[in-house]
Amino acid sequence: MEILDANVAAEVADKLLEIQAIRLQPEKPFTWASGWKSPIYCDNRLSLSFPKVRTMIKEQLIRSIQHYFPTVEAIAGVATAGIPQGALLANDLDLPFIYVRSKAKGHGMENMIEGKVVPGQKVVVVEDLVSTGGSSLKATQDLLDEGFEVLGMVAIFSYGFDVAKQNFDSAGVKLICLSHYEAMLPMAVQRKYITDDTLESLSEWRKDPAVWKQ
């Protein structure tokens, strides 16, 4: 996993905190579907409701694509949160847009991929958030199975888990994120959302989320 730019990472994290797309509750942690206790909840879909933040994120994702994947021929969003972000990018880049379902449609054509399937087309996948990478990489595999050439993936935010890096490396998929957990923590301290006293606990969570607060 790479980030586009350290300054951009800090700015994006700061804006996500400001609009409460990122919420921190180290003393009253959230429970994920996996059962993990988490001091953070990230819902980047909220950025769509704030035009200035939405535009800033869109412009930086476009910058990422143009820098790392200049030969892109189509944009693919991952359902559901990657769909609006991907559509915004495709529109500004004047490229075809498709999206990947989490499971095949249960009726009609029973599509896994919505939009025109063009085998061999070079596609960049768009995600809003990467945790372990499981659902994101499933989407890339679905695209590969349909004959697309996946150049890589761009995302707004990543928790920066080691397991995610391992999963993306194993799959051979390049991941570029605008921001991540490590860049967010100092911005949260600066905004006084957390204190230096809780910073160590928050840092420990990212290293081993499965046992944190157990």
What residues form the annotated binding site for 5-phospho-alpha-D-ribose 1-diphosphate? 101, 105, 107, 127-135
Long-range pairs for 160-164: beta carbons < 8 A, 24 or more residues apart: 160/1, 160/206, 161/131, 161/132, 161/206, 161/209, 162/207, 163/132, 163/133, 164/1, 164/130, 164/131, 164/132, 164/133
Task: Retrieve residue 6's tokens.
Answer: 């350290």
Q: Strands, E, within the chain: which ranges?
A: 2-3, 22-24, 30-31, 37-38, 40-42, 74-78, 97-100, 113-114, 122-130, 149-158, 175-180
CA angle 204, 138, 31 (to 5 degrees): 35
Q: Is the peptide bond before 80 cis (omega within 30 degrees of 0)?
A: yes
Known binding-site residue numbers? 101, 105, 107, 127-135
